[in-house]
Structure 1
Amino acid sequence: MSKIRITKQFSFETGHALYGYDGKCRNVHGHSYKLSVTVIGTPITDTNHVKLGMVIDFSDLKKIVKEEVEDVFDHATVFNKNTPHIELAKELETRGHNVILVDYQPTSENMVIDFAEKIKARLPKEIALYSLKLQETETSYAEWFAADN
């Protein structure tokens, strides 16, 4: 049977700041991110299976991405925990803000790598993560492809 790729799209709002950056993005700001998640697999052929013909149920993929990415990053502010932004993060947290501290500079490139690892770990063994596209603005995005990694 043929391998088929399916894609589900997600969106979330996240703030961040790039410590040490030489442009405007060194300031705290936010984006309306759009994440496209593409997986690859063989459609189910068992005629007794309730998901006959599916690679993975879109709702199952949605649950994974919602729990690993959307619920975590939506309306949060992301900082590299190895920078002086840690002080700002602590202040925001004391004021009730949702702050995420990561081990990397929170660029789209690094975020898409982080998301790929989290999503791959949750997929059923017969389904592979094929690619991710994280769109930061209307004209800018980062892509991750399994074939490149």
Structure 2
Amino acid sequence: MTKIRVTKQFGFEMSHALTNYDGLCSNIHGHSYKLQITLLGEPLESAGDPKDGMVMDFSVLKKLVKKYIVEPFDHSLMINDIAAHEKLTELGELYRRQHLVNFQPTTENMVIFIADKLKKLLPEHLELFSVRLYETNNSFAEWFASDNP
């Protein structure tokens, strides 16, 4: 059977700050992120099945990514938990949608986080092929399954 890649694109707004960074990104600032998720699989061959010919129904992929990635991240603040101290506690009173993570919230680390989460949620007949996250219109990071056996 022929393997096919299917990709769905998403968008969300999120702010972050880079702890101990030596530039402006050490301040809380935001981005309009664009996320592309690519799956690899074989199209279903089952005449009469409503999903016949599909690797995965795009609407199913949309629901999965929106629920576990987009909705939690959208209009939130992501900060490395090593920066968690009194000031962040005060921020918590102002900003309810915070993510304290155990990594520097760079685009590179975010694609690893997203890939790890999605791999666990996909049906076993599908493979997460890649995750691409645009931080700006012309800057992105990519994760490929083939690079991470």
TM exceeding 0.5 = yes
Give unpaired runs (5+ residues) of structure 2: none
TM-score (norm 2): 0.95
Q: Secondary structure of 1:142's partner?
A: strand
Q: 1:100-144 CA deviation, whole Å, 9 max, x = no partner?
A: 110100000000000001111111110100001000011110000
Query: Which amino acid letter does the alignment assign opposite residue 106 of structure 1?
Result: P
Residue matched to 1:4: 4
- 1:5, CA displacement in angstroms? 0.1
Residue matched to 1:90: 89
Pair 1:110–1:59, CA change in 2 (3 A): same
Stretches (4+) displaced over 6 A: none
Q: In 2, distance between residues paired with 1:33 and 1:25?
A: 15
Q: In 2, distance between residues paired with 1:7 and 1:37?
A: 5
Say whether 1:105 aligns with 2:104. Answer: yes
What's the % identity of the aligned pairs?
Answer: 51
Residue matched to 1:40: 40
Please, which moves more after superposition, 30-39 or 91-100?
91-100
TM-score (norm 1): 0.95
Residue matched to 2:69: 69
- 1:37, CA displacement in angstroms? 0.3
